[in-house]
Amino acid sequence: MDCTVSLYRVLTCLWKEQTDLNNNYTFDYWYGDSSSAHCPQYLVANHKPIGCRIALSNTFISCTVKLSTANQRSPIIRKLGRLQDLVKMDPPSYLHVENTSSLELLLTWNQTYGSFPEHCMTYQVQYQHMASNMWTVKDASRTSFTLPSYDPRQIYTFQVRSQINRNCGNSKFWSDWSQAVTWGRNITVTGK
């Protein structure tokens, strides 16, 4: 069973589909020592439950989940720990690249923060140029990144991903990589 928390404070737990069509799944959850509650919204595929979605009022709490079936001897119980450690952000969007007067490339992007403040984010930027098939990965703490000393004859491709930083949790998950943005110009050199 895999569980993540979205930036909008929604806990989603997914389990692998079993081949036994007669299995009736029940999913329960509880915070700390509180009493358990049933799944408020099952996620269904092929007329079978494959997950549960729970709206959270707070991510700075711990949670335990339990998955049971009628045919199972013992349920699967998982202590999720601190929910803020399970947050998976949406990928950054609206990437924009421009060259600055100091011969640097400036990459900027937008981030949807949901219920988290801006100072809770950390980023990774990956880039490559057309002469290399290797990505270079750099850390960033703001919604911008500067690439100094670029080669103006190359075409560069950039992507960014985000994560909740240590100030607000210790998320185990990076967002997916953003859509790529490309900067550069094709220069055709002809022989004489």
> What's the average pLDDT block by block, 10 residues per block, for the chain (192 residues)?
88 75 77 88 87 87 86 82 86 92 88 84 93 90 91 90 87 93 62 40
Give the start-to-end residue ranges of the domains of the chain: 2-86, 93-184
Domains 2-86 and 93-184 share a fold: yes
CATH superfamily of 93-184: Immunoglobulins (2.60.40.10)
For residue 144, the cross-strand partners are 108
Query: What is the third-level CATH fold of 2-86?
Result: Immunoglobulin-like (2.60.40)
Give me Rg for the CA atoms of the chain: 22
Q: 115 is written with which tokens?
A: 């219920």
| Interval 91-146: pLDDT, tens | 999 999 998 877 899 999 999 888 788 888 999 999 998 878 899 999 999 999 99
Residue 103 has a pLDDT of: 81
Region at 172 (left for phi over 0; alpha for psi -120 to 50; beta for the rest): alpha
- Cβ neighbours for 142, distance < 8 A, ≥ 6 positions apart: 123
